[in-house]
Amino acid sequence: MRVLSATVPMHDNLLQARRLLSSSQEIVVFSHRNPDGDAVGSTLGLMHYLRDRGHACTIILPSNYPEFLDFLPDVGSIIIFDDDMECAQEKIKSATLFFLLDFNSFERIDKMAEGMMEDDRPRIMIDHHLHPEEIANPIFSRPDRSSTCEMVYEFIEGLGDAEYVNKRISDSLYTGILTDTGGFKYNTTPDLFRTVAKLLEAGTDAYKVADHVWNNLTEKQLRLLGHCLANRMELLPEYRTGLIYLNNQDYEEFDIQRGDTEGIVNYVLRMPDMMIAAFIHEQPTIVKLSLRSKGTMDVQQICKALFRGGGHRNAAGGASFAPLGSTINRFKKHLPKYADEIEAAYLEFNNQ
């Protein structure tokens, strides 16, 4: 399959996409494992648009999405590969066009990617992460954008179809923007707010979406949050860094399931002098790490250098096959390398 570089001009990519969508297609939309609000919102928003324009469209995700996204329109139509592999494979087999949303490497979709590199059916990528692999044609890659949801709106608008953005589409895209920006704290630009205004004009109720997204904790999740803050938080004020960790015993005691730890890492950054927050948690075969930061402090570089990960400047993740304690010590051991950068980012952030 011939691929185009992510640096191909946007106009040429839109012409290619418009050509691919000029006739009715059987479309499958993929997003990454452990899908978040941006993954689910962008795929649903695009699905509604494509169906409204006469295409058959199915979303397939490797694993299930968090329960707080159940309010999104037609979210129940998503096929989860882990749960219904046979149905997913049938849809993939009959597809005439694929969209790859919110990921830019086939590693992010695991078994769903089997045979894809040799498959000559067309694929379109829309993604905002750094360093896209050339696995689609065309590739819409904008690391400067807040979210893939923002890019999906720009994609629809670029095709000349902004008038077709209805409440189902806008609710889906607004949700992904809201979650990926942490409630409009990260990666915001004037362009983003112009897009958000158009989504609100299309019918989205910002208060209701925010209520679904932020006010959805169970008693168990609140007690887990209290445990994390009271018993599992360590502050390293000399590096303006705080970390929260969870071990296997915690997972068993609180019966932690997918989504229960969502957003816990962000509480560290509620302290004004903290610039980096780390959430390090033990899994059955791996230790996962999530980093968040303020201002110009780039935590993506830390994840990439130490934990084979990546992401964005203010939100990144990685993994370690070392034990939990060793992983925590490795993170703390390397913080002095970034001390000057952390302090400079702090001074700039506070205009000192």
Q: Which helix (H) or strand (E) holds 35?
A: none
Instruction: State the first-to-last Cα distance of the chain, in angstroms, to the nearest integer.
Output: 52
**Average pLDDT of the chain?**
94
The whole-number pLDDT of residue 93 equals 96
CA distance 50 to 57: 7
Band (pLDDT 50/70/90 cuts) for residue 9 is: low
- Segment 300-314 shows an average pLDDT of 92
Helix (H, G, I), strand (E, B) or coil at 290: strand
How far is 54 from 26, CA to CA, in rounded Å?
A: 10
Q: pLDDT band for position 295 (50/70/90)? A: very high
Task: Tell me what the mean pLDDT of segment 253-272 comes to.
Answer: 92
Annotate 88-101 with b (16+ C-beta within 10 A) or e (fewer): bbebbeebebbbbb
What is the model's pLDDT at position 32? 96
> Which helix H or strand E contains 124, and what residues bound it?
strand 123-127
Q: Over the stretch 319-329, which tens digit does the pLDDT of each residue have?
A: 999 999 999 99
Predicted local confidence at residue 2, as pLDDT: 36
How far is residue 198's CA from residue 182's CA, in Å, rounded to a whole number?
A: 20
Residues 63-79, mean pLDDT to the nearest whole number: 95
Determine how many CB atoms are found less than 10 A away from the CB of residue 185.
12
SS (H, E, C) 55-120: CEEEEEECCCCCHHHCCCCCHHHCEECCCCHHHHHHHHHHCCEEEEECCCCHHHHHHHHCCCCCCC
Q: Give me the sheet containing 315-320, strands edge to edge.
A: 233-236, 241-246, 276-282, 287-293, 315-320, 310-311
Would the CA dihedral through 193, 195, 201, 205 be positive or negative?
negative
Number of neighbouring beta carbons within 10 Å of residue 235: 14
Total-model pTM? 0.85
Q: Give tens-digit pLDDT for 190-211.
A: 999 999 999 999 999 999 999 9
Instruction: Kindly give the pairing relationship between strand 241-246 and strand 276-282.
Output: parallel
The string of DSSP codes covering 326-352 is: HHHHHHHHHGGGGHHHHHHHHHHHTT-
Is 14 a residue whose pLDDT tops 80? yes
Each residue's pLDDT tens digit, 15-28: 999 999 999 999 99
- Is the pLDDT assigned to residue 3 strictly greater than 90? no
Query: Percent of the chain scored above 70 by pLDDT?
Result: 97
Retrieve residue 60's tokens: 């397939």
- Degrees (nearest 5) of the Cα angle 121, 85, 68? 100
- pLDDT classification of 157: cutoffs 50, 70, 90: very high
